[in-house]
């Protein structure tokens, strides 16, 4: 996944250090201290602005934003900002290394891209469009819990009906539930492909309808006999179709 941010409205030609620009221009919240102090600025000021952009994308607000512009400039000059407690260690370290008052002590772009924040975490190839409105959930799903919930709702979450056929679900539908779970979102699929042991995070897609136990003629006869009884047989029917023990999780009915 590539994120490109560009704004060249106030760009200027890069000059040697002794000929650098000293004019103050740019968006206040993203100005570097050397820009405000008219010390002459170069690529290091862009690295500072990148740190401000990164902070804003992580926490939803610029690091030096205040209700008063003069106070904002004061915070920038003294590098006074707060880091939310919810931020990761890697994020804290990277932001802190970028937002340094001395331009010479800031990391280069190559050092930033090789930081643990970008190399150790998971970066999806594709994000769902909902990510434009809310923070995407990149956590690995709990396969057993989610799948068990679906199966329980399928078998026992419906209203009682005199027609037993409306309660029972055949093996093919259960198989589709399993496959649907394994392919819940593109992000989770990407995570399963990039982990060392994908089997730890995904429900085995190979477990299709043919993977479930096949009834014998005697079992089919007993099932047909039960289907002519009361809806209470739905529980036994569901257990024969998809034994809870196969999921290695507790029986939802407490058995």
Reported as a single tens digit per residue, the pLDDT across 22-79 is: 888 888 999 999 999 988 888 899 999 999 999 999 999 999 999 999 999 999 999 9
Instruction: Compute the mean pLDDT over every residue in the chain, rounded to the nearest whole number.
Output: 71
The answer to whether 50 and 117 are in contact (CB under 8 A) is no
pTM of the model: 0.51
Q: At what angle do helices 143-156 and 233-241 cross, to 10 degrees?
A: 140
Nearest-5° Cα angle at 57, 67 to 48: 75
Q: What is the CATH number of domain 28-132?
A: 1.10.510.10
Q: Which pLDDT value is given to residue 32?
A: 94
Out of 24-28, 125-129, 167-171, 208-212, the most confident range is: 24-28
Which residues does 41 contact at the CB level (< 8 Å), separation at least 6?
Answer: 20, 21, 22, 32, 34, 35, 103
Q: Where are the domains of the chain?
A: 28-132
Q: Which pLDDT value is given to residue 99?
A: 97
């Amino acid at each position: 996944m590539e994120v490109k941010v560009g704004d060249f409205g106030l760009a200027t030609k890069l000059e040697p250090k002794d000929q650098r620009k000293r004019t103050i221009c740019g968006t206040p919240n993203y100005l570097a201290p050397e820009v405000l102090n008219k010390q002459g600025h170069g690529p290091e000021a862009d690295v500072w602005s990148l740190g401000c952009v990164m902070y804003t994308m992580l926490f939803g607000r610029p690091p030096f934003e205040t209700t008063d512009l003069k106070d904002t400039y004061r915070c920038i000059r003294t590098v006074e900002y707060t880091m939310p407690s919810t931020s990761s260690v890697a994020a804290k370290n990277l932001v802190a290394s970028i937002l340094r008052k001395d331009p010479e002590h800031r990391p280069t772009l190559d050092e930033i891209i090789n930081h643990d924040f970008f190399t150790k975490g998971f970066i999806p190839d594709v994000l769902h469009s909902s990510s434009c409105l809310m923070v995407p959930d990149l956590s690995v799903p709990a396969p057993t819990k989610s799948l068990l919930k679906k199966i329980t709702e399928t078998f026992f979450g419906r209203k009682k009906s005199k027609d037993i056929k409306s309660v029972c679900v055949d093996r093919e539908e259960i198989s589709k539930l399993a496959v649907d779970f394994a392919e819940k979102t593109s992000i989770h699929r990407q995570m399963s492909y990039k982990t060392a042991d994908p089997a730890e995070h995904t429900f085995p897609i190979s477990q299709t309808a043919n993977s479930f136990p096949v009834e014998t003629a005697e079992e089919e006869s007993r099932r047909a006999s039960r289907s002519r009884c009361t809806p209470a047989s739905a529980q036994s029917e569901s257990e024969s179709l998809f034994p809870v023990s196969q999921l290695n999780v507790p029986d939802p009915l407490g058995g």
